[in-house]
Amino acid sequence: MAVRVESGSPAPLGASLLGQGVNFSLYTRDATAVELCFFAAADDEQPALVVPLQGEAHRTGLYWHAWIEGVGAGQVYGYRVSGPQAPEQGLRCDPDQLLLDPYGRAMAVPPGYRREQAQRRSTQGWAGAMKSVVADLSAYDWQGDSTLHRPARETVVYEMHVKGFTAHSSSGVPAAQAGSYAGLIEKIPYLQELGITAVELLPVFQFDSQEAPGGLPNYWGYQPISFFVPHHDYSSRPDPLGVLDEFRDLVKALHRAGIEVILDVVFNHTAESDAAGPSFCYRGLANADYYLLDPADRSLYVDDTGCRNTLNANNPIVRRLIRDSLRHWVEHFHIDGFRFDLASVLARDESGQPVPRPPILWDLDTDPVLAGTKLIAEAWDAAGLYQVGSFVGDRWQEWNGRFRDDMRRFLKGDGGQVTKVTQRLIGSPDIYGAKHREAEASINFITCHDGFTLADLVSYNVKHNEANGENNRDGSDDNASWNCGAEGPSDDPVVLALRQRQMRNALALLLLSGGTPMLSMGDELCRSQGGNNNAYCQDNPTSWLDWSLLDQHADLHRFTRELIAFRMRRDVVVSDEALSLADLLRRNQIHWHGVNPGQPDWRDDSHSFALTMTSIEQRFRLCLLVNAWWEPLSFTLPAVDFGDARWHRWIDTNLPSPNDIVPVPEAPELQQSTYSVAPRSLVALIAGHEGLSSM
């Protein structure tokens, strides 16, 4: 390779096209020498050219840099970093490791990549090592696309796995695109028909798919390697730059369908694992900057994540990395929002202690580039910090774990749940009311990727994770599930009917609650994982969506679709103005009842409640009758007191389809003053002729 080398600049970090060449800049605190290695191909054993970054011209403080003429987009490269190898001091430089560029915008993953060898030079040199690739991020035609900035009050989230959505042979996606970004594009009409307004994609940052015990794959993707590059295995295009275009094609297509893209991001740990793990880049550059180290033995890593290391998120270098990564995804991939895995880790300082005003969280909360994006926190971590309702910041939404737990226990029939579940139903004012936040601050969910699917929640009392190879020790033992009388698959019609009723109850409570609802992929189709509540390593039909379920459970799909359609009507939970939770509750005129109007039963042994609420613009009134008891209950209906209207039955989860839910204008009028609600059933009534005729 004939190149000309000049000093270059420390900014910007990474590889940036500049004139007739590329500027390379790398931060490393621990290095004594740095070599920039160029490869002719991703699986080459040896570099075609090595450029030593020597002297003051190529080093400014802790930044090593060079401008190289004659290279451009598509160039494969990596770094060798020499320096002290003193793990007991937290120093882990190793010139035998080919390190990735932490700010690399593209990557090459050779077919021979093996985690156990990773980036270390072997007898085959670096043939199996992942390598960074120069990318021209301006070389894409967005055709006028931009982020959607859909208000949270108009959002219904669908959590999904890119591969799992179309990998199954029943998906109908061409084999070459099954399980890919392109394959997902093929299924966008399904999401539109269901009524989804935002997809939340499980991790799509390049991750180590081999980081799982027992030789099983890492399917979920919570083992990040790069914070700037879309995952290669989800692309149907083989070249590193094609991955970028295919992912951008997906974002653009979803935006055209009116669907936002939210990424599940992992900034709490990396795939470099513990002291025995590989060095992809971070630990070989500035180990003590990037990670929390055990103060008693700096060769070891603090583990607040359950993944054997913890990023030092409030170190200035890591703070900048996180902020720059998110800006990159917004500016160059038009991402609409981010859900932060184990976000409470980001609230810990460099000693691992939680702090009241974590710098990184306020950085993101106030960043102007991120101003229009959704920021969603999983407000807990694996070391016991639980911040649901107390997560810092002015505009963060939170995965409401208490919504999940309280709804599950109520539906299961546990005592002492009525007062809790009624709070969840109206936006959790007991959690969020004091912060004067909108109801949408609560991301409501009953299931997600982590735990039972909705079908398994009503089919299993205990987890069945034997296939994970950990003797069923992995995954949570606290699932608040109930098998409805038989463990696992059953042909008992009584059991099956009860399970169907319980799923409808859960979906109705989720989609009628104040807050931002989130569905888990396939719950609307009765998708089961055979009782596996921790399918992180099941890259097979256990986790994939079987599209034949759409025919088998068309009634459940229709039930979900009708609920979403109702929710998205103007004047239901949607308004042109951003209402605080207190405003919403006041405007909706909520009244609580028991089996008799105005007499709610808040006792611990109560399993039922009723409420009436008036729509924001006073166009209709909703009455909800909920019976989680195992006997029928007769509810005396509250007076309509709404013009000359009568109650109309919209939902009764005990009725067979299609009467379990009907289009609102077709809801039959009730003549009686009482309604018998079957055991473990939910009934929704609507009154108001004007509201009915216009919906």
Catalytic positions, written as ranges: 341, 378
User: Count of H helices and E strands in the chain?
Assistant: 16, 27
Gap between the Cα atoms of 543 and 538, Å rounded: 6
Q: Are 60 and 12 in contact (CB under 8 A)?
A: no
Q: How far is CA 688 from CA 299, 567, 589, in A?
A: 69, 17, 15
Name the E strands within 131-287.
Answer: 131-133, 157-160, 198-201, 260-265
- Around 100, how many Cα atoms within 13 Å sit in the side-chain half-sphere? 32
The DSSP call for residue 5 is E
Inter-helix orientation angle 418-425/493-512, to 10°: 50
- Residue 559 carries which side chain, given as an amino acid letter? F
Gap between the Cα atoms of 609 and 593, Å rounded: 6
Residues 406-433 as b or e (16 or more Cβ within 10 Å = b):
bbbbbbbebeebbebbbbbbbbbbebbb
At 640, list the tokens. Answer: 């309509």
- Residues 6+ positions from 104 with CB-CB distance below 8 Å: 14, 15, 132, 133, 226, 228, 229
Query: Residue 585, Cα to own-chain centre: how many angstroms?
Result: 28
- On whether the CB atoms of residues 491 and 549 are closer than 8 A, the answer is no
Residue type, 445: F
Structure token pair of residue 216: 């099983």
Check: CB of residue 457 under 8 Å from CB of residue 526.
no
Q: Are 481 and 460 in contact (CB under 8 A)?
A: yes
Q: How many CA atoms lie within 13 A of 505 on its CB side?
A: 29
Candidates 294, 310, 124, 280; CA nearest to 211 is 280
* Residue type (1 letter), 466: E
Q: Please, is 258 exposed, middle or buried when counting C-beta atoms within 10 Å of its C-beta (0-12, 13-18, 19+)?
A: middle
Taking the mean position of all CA atoms in its chain, how far away is CA 88? Answer: 36
Q: Which residues pair with 51 in a beta bridge?
A: 36
Distance from chain centroid for Cα 244: 20
Tokens of 517: 């609802």
Q: Which of 673, 514, 504, 679 is nearest to 607 (CA)?
A: 679
Strand partners, 36: 51, 79
The secondary structure of 489-550 as a DSSP string is S---HHHHHHHHHHHHHHHHHHHHSSSEEEEETTGGGT---TT-S--TT--STTTS--TTHH
